[in-house]
Amino acid sequence: MSLLEVDDVVVQFGGVTAVNHASFAAHAGRITGLIGPNGAGKTTCFNVISGLQRPTRGKVRFDGRGVTRLPVHRRSKRGMGRTFQRLEAFGSLSVRENVRVAFDIHRGPIGWIRPSSADVDALLERVGIASYAGERADSIPTGTARLLELARCLAGQPKLLLLDEPSSGLDETETDAFGELLQELAAEGRAILMVEHDMDLVMGVCDDIHVLDFGSVIASGPPSLIRSDPAVQQAYLGYSDVEDAADSADSADSADDPATVTQVLPVVHEEVR
Ligand SMILES: Nc1ncnc2c1ncn2[C@@H]1O[C@H](COP(=O)(O)OP(=O)(O)OP(=O)(O)O)[C@@H](O)[C@H]1O
Ligand SMILES: [Mg+2]
């Protein structure tokens, strides 16, 4: 059974339909990607799942129960953890203090269950930012701050991790290490639902992928199917067959923007070569 089920969710902002009858699921022990072009509705879906945005219609089920009307903190208590596209750490606190506060929030204000320094430091070590422990959160690089967000989220021992663009700001080596960490976290039984624009990471670590375009799920499946799905190529690149892709790749190169093809859908790039 799915840990998370998003069922026929619609979100309208005035005349804008940000999410349009979207249904998808995430499972314990698996990494699920939620991808799509800018403005496709990915963050809005996360807001609906985590309780920041009431859907116009549709339902969210988590761990076997309907949570559509539950406030954010009660979803958090039931095991949802989230990181944000815009960083949310406490800038004037150190990296270590930020994680300590996250432990405190989740364990409650009872003195005798305060986290030990060992708990905090073990978590910093796990996400690979122990060397930044004493630095102020507003002075660390963006990629490190994203890992700090992940550590803060893990402090709540979530069953479901909702990660909104977690790898932006990480270099290639850091992204590889991050991908391995995600796979470990999933192998320990957590469900991970990740919004991400780095297609090498998405295609490399996700077990299942759902593609949103203009608020609708246009494709769902394993990476091998998503890579070659014409509707997905159309949504990202504006063309749906490989010959057109080659033409567009040439013009992208000449426009000094080869990243369009290489970063967005690696399979198209490979076929072009
Ligand atoms: N609070 C809001 N009020 C009005 N429109 C909104 C609001 N939040 C999002 N939108 C609109 O809803 C659509 C979906 O936005 P959303 O932020 O969910 O996209 P996204 O897929 O996360 O994009 P990105 O990849 O750029 O982060 C966009 O057209 C956006 O302008
Ligand atoms: Mg977004």
Over residues 139-184, the pLDDT tens digits come to 999 999 999 999 999 999 999 999 999 998 899 999 999 999 999 9
Question: Which range is least confidently modeled, 8-12, 97-101, 248-252?
Answer: 248-252
Mean per-residue pLDDT, 42-50: 98
Residue 241, pLDDT > 60, answer no
Q: Is the CB of 18 under 6 A from ligand 1?
A: yes
What is the dotted CATH code of the domain comprising 1-74+168-174+184-227?
3.40.50.300
Distance (Å, whole) CA 242 – CA 31 = 28
To test ligand 1's pocket by mutation, which of 10, 11, 16, 162 has the most ligand atoms within 8 angstroms of CB?
Answer: 16
E-strand ranges in 119-195 read: 160-164, 191-195
Higher pLDDT, 75 or 245: 75
Enumerate the CATH 3.40.50.300 domain ranges in the chain, comma separated. 1-74+168-174+184-227
Ligand index nearest the alpha carbon of residue 213 = 1
Q: What is the mean pLDDT of the chain?
A: 86
Give the pLDDT band (50/70/90) at residue 195. very high
> 41 alpha carbon to ligand 1 midpoint, in Å?
6
What pLDDT does residue 119 have?
87
Please give the sequence-ordered ranges of beta strands (E in DSSP) within the chain, or none if there are none: 4-13, 16-26, 31-35, 57-62, 65-66, 80-82, 160-164, 191-195, 208-213, 216-221
Residue 11 has pLDDT above 90, yes or no: yes
Q: Which of 13, 20, 198 to mutate to test the pocket of ligand 1 (most atoms within 8 A of CB)?
A: 13
The amino acid occupying position 107 is: R
State the pLDDT at residue 107. Answer: 73
Rg (CA), the chain: 19
Query: What distance in angstroms lies between residue 163's CA and the mean position of ligand 1's atoms?
Result: 16
Band the pLDDT of 271: cuts 50, 70, 90. very low
User: How far is the centre of ligand 1, averaged over its atoms, from the C-alpha of 184 (Å)?
Assistant: 31
Supply the pLDDT for residue 270. 38
Point out the least confidently predicted range of 80-89, 218-227, 251-260.
251-260
Position 260 scores a pLDDT of 36
Q: What percent of the chain has pLDDT over 90?
A: 74
Ligand 1 neighbour 37 (Cβ under 6 A): no
